[in-house]
Structure 1
Amino acid sequence: MRRRHHFHIDHAGHSVSVTVQTGHKAVVEVLVDGKSTGYATTSGDRPVTVHIELPTDPPTPATVRATAGPGIPRCVLEVPGAESQVMSPRLF
């Protein structure tokens, strides 16, 4: 059964949102400031890493690590020079 989970965090004045769709094939989509910036798929519950950029001057590279399961998915934002931040789940 497919199910969507949403996560969000604000970092350096930018909004980072992630949707994880679970099921036989997990789909991870990342939005920065409302624009789609990253997409990845993985089979089963394998973790997936999506590389993104925050639109600063100059652009800041970042990574979203998403784990689809088992159980409730989890997302972590990693930015060089900062601690990894667990993203908060959002209800839609």
Structure 2
Amino acid sequence: MGRRHHFHVDHLGHSVSVTVEAGHSAVVDVLVDGKETARVGIGHERQVALPVELPTDPPTTATVRVAAGPGVPRCLLVPADGGDPLVMAPRAY
């Protein structure tokens, strides 16, 4: 079992959280407003882009980009409307 890293950002009034369990094969969990919307294992490439949908009216799409290493993982929320990527801040659990 690897070390867990947690990231968070608020966007358009909604909470987006990511947990990256680092190790030989990393696992990424994405939650929107506390509900799991994606869970994926990352192989040797150590990077993944996951689509998410924020429950706005109408729904807003974005992409969570995760780089699981080397070193400390990093996460970005990339709005689909072409806005600037939002750095997801690390947070302690």
Range into which the TM-score falls when normalised by the shorter chain: over 0.9
Deviation (angstroms), 1:14: 0.3
Specify every segment of 5 or more residues in structure 1 that has no aligned partner in the other structure, as ranges: none
Consecutive aligned runs of 4 or more in structure 1 exceeding 3 Å deviation: none
Q: Could you tell me how far apart the structure 1 residues matched to 2:71 and 2:45 are?
A: 9
- State the distance in 2 between where 1:61 and 1:67 align: 20
The alpha-carbon deviation at position 6 of structure 1 amounts to 0.1
Percent identity of the aligned residues? Answer: 60
Residue 27 of structure 1: aligned partner: 27
Partner of 1:4: 4
Tell me the C-alpha RMSD between the 2 structures: 1.1
Q: Distance in 2 between matches of 1:18 and 1:74?
A: 10
Alignment of 1:1-92 (within 5 A): 2-44=2-44, 46-81=46-81, 82-92=83-93
Q: Is the 8 A contact 1:41 1:48 kept in 2?
A: no
**TM-score, length-scaled by structure 1:** 0.94
What SS does structure 2 have at the residue aligned with 1:52? strand
Q: TM-score, normalised by structure 2?
A: 0.93
Shift of residue 23 of structure 1?
A: 0.7
In structure 2, what is the Cα distance between the partners aligned to 1:3 and 1:46?
15
How many Å apart are 1:44 and its aligned residue? 3.8
How many residues of Structure 1 are paired with residues of Structure 2 in the alignment? 92
Name the CA shift for 1:84/1:13 in 2 (closer, same or farther; >3 Å).
same
User: 1:18-72: per-residue Cα shift (whole Å, max 9, x none)?
Assistant: 0000111110000000000112111246211111100011111111000111110
